[in-house]
């Protein structure tokens, strides 16, 4: 079983997550289905086994949860000491300026900034968003910090997402899985 999990984590999941720091806020049910089917194959369990049990037994997040985590991690790299000469840094700060101006008028134009802002708000880190920078110590511990906050706030985030989705009359398959 451990070998199968390693194959999934080393060969399959990276293909599904390629570039998610940029496009990860989209809903991608097909990828979630692939992960759940793979989990069932690894565990050799029935198709009737609930998705929550499959992901929980393997200690896996939903792919949406992982994409959210990876995007926040990337944001931390940008504001946590990335060189201002890098194009990514310049594009982010230009987008952030546009986002800040537009959000004052309730007309957000940067979906990426809007998504990062919402994710940080959901895990009770809006003050970090407002600062728009990380100290050297915060940057070193960023991955650990957001993972810890993610564990704590994931259920709240998924409930919020489910409420928004239900309001829009779109069915949701978000799972309350643990890390």
pLDDT per residue over 105-114, tens digit each?
777 678 899 9
Query: Residue 177's pLDDT is what?
Result: 42
Same domain, 104 and 32: no
Same domain, 122 and 85: yes
- Domain limits for position 128: 66-167
Rounded Cα–Cα distance for residues 76 and 71 (Å):
9
Examine the pLDDT at 167 and tell me if it is beyond 90.
no
Per-residue pLDDT averaged across 15-40, rounded? 91
Same domain, 92 and 106: yes
**Where is the domain boundary, 25, 40, 63?**
63
Q: How many domains does the chain have?
A: 2
Distances (CA, A) of 20 to 124, 141, 149: 22, 22, 20
Q: Which residues contact 105 (CB under 8 A, 6 or more apart)?
A: none
**Where is the domain boundary, 39, 63, 87?**
63
Same domain, 59 and 12: yes
Query: Residue 169's pLDDT is what?
Result: 39
Query: How confident is the model over 110-154, as pLDDT tens digits?
Result: 889 999 999 999 999 999 999 999 999 999 999 999 999 988 865
């Amino acid at each position: 079983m451990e070998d199968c999990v390693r194959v999934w984590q080393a060969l399959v999941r990276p293909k599904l997550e390629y570039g998610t720091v940029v496009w990860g806020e989209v809903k991608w049910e097909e990828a979630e289905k692939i992960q759940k089917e793979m989990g069932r194959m690894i565990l050799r369990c029935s198709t009737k086994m609930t998705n929550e049990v499959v992901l929980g037994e393997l200690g896996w997040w939903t792919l949406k949860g992982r994409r959210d985590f990876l995007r926040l991690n990337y944001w931390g790299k940008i504001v946590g000491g990335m060189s201002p000469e890098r194009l990514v840094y310049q594009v982010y700060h230009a987008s952030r300026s546009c986002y800040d101006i537009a959000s004052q008028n309730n007309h957000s134009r940067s979906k990426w900034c809007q998504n990062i802002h919402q994710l940080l708000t959901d895990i009770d880190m809006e003050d970090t968003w407002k600062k728009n920078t990380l100290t050297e110590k915060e940057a070193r511990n960023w991955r650990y910090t957001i993972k810890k906050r993610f564990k704590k706030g994931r259920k709240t985030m998924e409930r919020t997402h489910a409420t928004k989705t239900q309001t829009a009359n779109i069915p949701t398959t978000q799972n309350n899985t643990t890390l």
